[in-house]
Structure 1
């Protein structure tokens, strides 16, 4: 049931007296309104009616008025006040019934003032019950009969709110402006409703534009309009369904373009006698859309025209499918496995492999869509278009609830959509602190820089490149702590010193030959905490001989310790993943590379394989936790 709130116009303009007094005053006012001659009543009904007017509680009033109408079923006044008593108790269905009886028992015997009051109360009850058409008709009737300016303004307020709920924006604005002119003392309430109507008008116009674009099959533009509507009011009409229609239409349009291009290529191949390639293209078309044009009949003709494949051919196709799958070339793998199945559906486990390929393709498509939405969202945040960015990130959560830290991203972006003024000062404080941290970093004061950056990260972990700066400060602080302390100077003669000097003349040359070895120097640098020098040695060794696989994990560990994400480090990380080199840091390396691919929007086979592994590892960790 669509229940609306009780009118603030009525609530805000009651005298500051207790509730029971308000109810009694309300009944007293309407008693004056009904001070007109009626047919003579039975003594008992009139006494019950009078007792109801004097009652202090709504329950006592209901009991008295119900007794009155039982004794006199045509007692219009009793029905009216019974309806008001029901309404004060929140019994709106009972109030509707009583007020209808008050109006229809003697519609021609009531004066306009009484009819106006009944229709007004009946209209407000209908609005609460969600019967908007009936509420509109009753309030329009009351408006046509009203002669009092103040009461006419109250009618326009309620009628304008009903129009607004029905989506009749222009009618709502017209009625609310009329009411404001009649009740200038309540202008603030009218202004609030007028602002809501104006905002809804803009959303409605954008929605209508989206519908027009959808009907014109301009799906991408329609989807953009519907996303903007959702950013303003996610529950507006059927905008969610409309967005889905636009997205489905966009996918169909793109798919049809691809199929049309393949179909034209297949026909060209057939004309030039290249039947094998034509057959492959038609098979792709039929897989995507079995009913596309006459692709089925053309493919059947080509299949009947070719000689049956021999088992050796099937095994070759099967092995090529496996190779393509291992390379994450899903389309090629699907093509080879389908060719095997078309000749021999029961050949080995070809059906299982086809199922795996289909799942991998769906995952790749989803990851591609998520990556695109993420890039759009990031770009929108850079342009301060927070509402549109929020819509993108919410779509990501619908597609992949486990995506990165999507909940934190949504919370952060949502905070920008409705950022309070005080948040500006907080941002300025963060900016000042960030500059302070940079100054400490440049001056080599690693401890102070670490403290400042940790304080910023505690407030906003996504601020600027705070994570990189914090890691940089911590790294230098750790290196400073590991730096060797110079030995104290000794004074006077020491016989051991002379012995050591003579021994060094013999031992040092031999030791020098050992230290000259690059790997030995690299390990020595690692022990001394000189990671940059060690890294340069391993880099030179790998440049000379990329086949020395054992150096990749060592170099990757150095890069991880230095928190490096540059191209050189990423190349080493990618090599470890591609060659499947063992290292205890493989999970961390896979996460770094997956994040890099996602940021760049890569959708090639290698990128999809890395992101798929990251997703599987994340799922496994969540299950354990």
Structure 2
């Protein structure tokens, strides 16, 4: 309450007494003199005051001055010195309080110098407290009653700096100009201040133009203005740094959008011109940048179109190959090709009729061992626990000749096995076959994420161990169709050749059934055909695939070894087969050649301690010795 009254007193005295001082006391006042207004301090208070002024310790001086004020509350000198002491220790609130009390006492007197002094000091401590508006008001009051030109220059200089703190640059320039004009001689410091203010005004105007330009959407001109401010004032001037960051980001986005739009238009043009690969390349680049408009939809649609075109191209190629083989009466080749085509797309053109015709022609030429081959294939499938296949083969055999050997009994046995499998719940089947269960689970997980290649690998492993487990063969066919229909054809060829994923290219056997018109190409017949064409790699793959599914089927080893010998293969796989042939004493007619190959392999191997290799080497040397003796005799 006391401080509010003091501020009211300052305002009243600034306006009232200031006018009287400037008019030269045009209206005489009925007041007492200064000495009459201020009572003479008590001698005890004066004594304490003098003692305080001798004290060099500011805190002790404050204590003594406060004691003096208790003796004489209106002791102006003590009030003034307390204000100065508190200002010295930076307790500006208390300094303001005592300066205010002193000002209140002297404001009623006609001592303008004292009034100006206190108003100036009050303004200063108010400024230190951040009370810039009150500080400006006090300082303007002091200027209003100051008459000395030097004092006017000093106070206006102080006011100009105070106005700069409030960013009132126009008023600051006005105050600095008054300070400069207070005396006839110009003050260099004041001139420098005026120049600084003019620069601040220019910066302010530039900032305001930049903000207005930015807010109106003119990003590039705004960037130029903000960049100029950044060069002059650095990144601490107002919000220049933040605005520049937004502008740069917006410009970058605009530039990226322009580039992406250009690529998008190129993609549309390429697509319209039928340049599918080029269009896909453009769309892919756009998607890597986050996409644009309907680029994702167009890319997907174009990829599907390209994949379908490649699938159609492959189907047409196979169909042409098959029909040409049929035209040349190469029925086995035609049967193989049409089987492959049917596995990709069963309804493609008249492929089924073409296959039936090719198989019929094969039937006319190969009917002697029909029933025996059926029987052998059925037994092989049964022993491999491929009961579905065994059931199909024995059914066809019984339809032709139900009394052939024990075919009917074997058919009943296979049907019982299939029924047992059907009666088991999926959980029971999986629990009874932990290894197969793990493979089947892995395959399901890969199917969920559409990793068809990995799913096919897992399902192929299942077929090797137990064909048809949990309908895995059906699932395998589905996965292969998905892979051939969605993946890159060229890539699929490479991957499938490496992992045996191409389906339908190798059939189990060729069997001719005149009554049913059913024909399956046997492995041995197909191998003989491929060897006759010197297609050794394809022929070897047939036997290799059989060994993968049935490792114990040693009957294929002699044929496979002969293919390796004919093709000149001595790689790790061939060496492995040669060793098995020698150890099992198969194909004696080829032992000499195989022994030579194994001997050479042993001599070229480094750091080997394989006992089997040593035994084979000894046998090879013995065989060579025996041969030489026979030639000598």
TM value normalised by structure 2: 0.37
Bigger Rg, structure 1 or 2: 2
